[in-house]
Amino acid sequence: MRILMVCLGNICRSPMADGHLRKKVNDLKLAVIVDSAGTANYHVGEAPDKRMIATGAKFGTPIDELRARQFKVVDFDNFDLIYCMDSSNLSNVLSLARNEADCQKVRLLLNELEPNSNAAVPDPYYGTMQDFEYVYQLLDKATDCVIEKIKNGKIR
């Protein structure tokens, strides 16, 4: 199983989702590869936003070694599931899909937590530290849900 987390800049939401899921699969010794990417190229090569790093550190999920990269078409081949943080990320990724099989891999992350809600992980970039903590808590719940589904064979 290979899972890619996608947001806009790959410096706030998706690196936290990536680092958090990575930590959980490692702790549980699950055979899952986790990575993240952004639909935009603004921050390619950069470490995550300092506020996201600080929030991860506060709750025990270090993400400082991750580096931003842009989503690319070959990611459809390299990953089984592509989880987007909001509907804008979703439509940007879907616009690059080559066929129906590519489209089937793309989902909104929070629909794992609340099916069909189409809820967004809100972009904290212009927000406060509270917004970053809220993102962390949402991603903690969503990644727990992904882990449960992987363990129960409900994510394929």
The catalytic residues are: 7, 13, 123
* Long-range CB pairs of 115-124, under 8 A, 24+ apart, other chains included: 118/87, 120/85, 120/86, 120/87, 121/7, 121/13, 121/17, 121/85, 121/86, 122/86, 123/7, 123/8, 123/12, 123/13, 123/85, 123/86, 124/12, 124/13, 124/51, 124/52
> Min. distance of Cβ 77 from ligand 4NP in angstroms?
23
Complex with ligand 4NP: residue 38 or 56, whichever CB lies closer: 38
Task: Closer to ligand 4NP by CB, 41 or 118: give it.
Answer: 41
| Nearest-approach distance from CB 150 to ligand 4NP, in angstroms | 24
Q: Could you tell me the smallest distance in angstroms from the CB atom of residue 117 to ligand 4NP?
A: 19
Give me the residues that bind ligand 4NP (CB under 6 A), please: 7-13, 38, 42, 123, 125
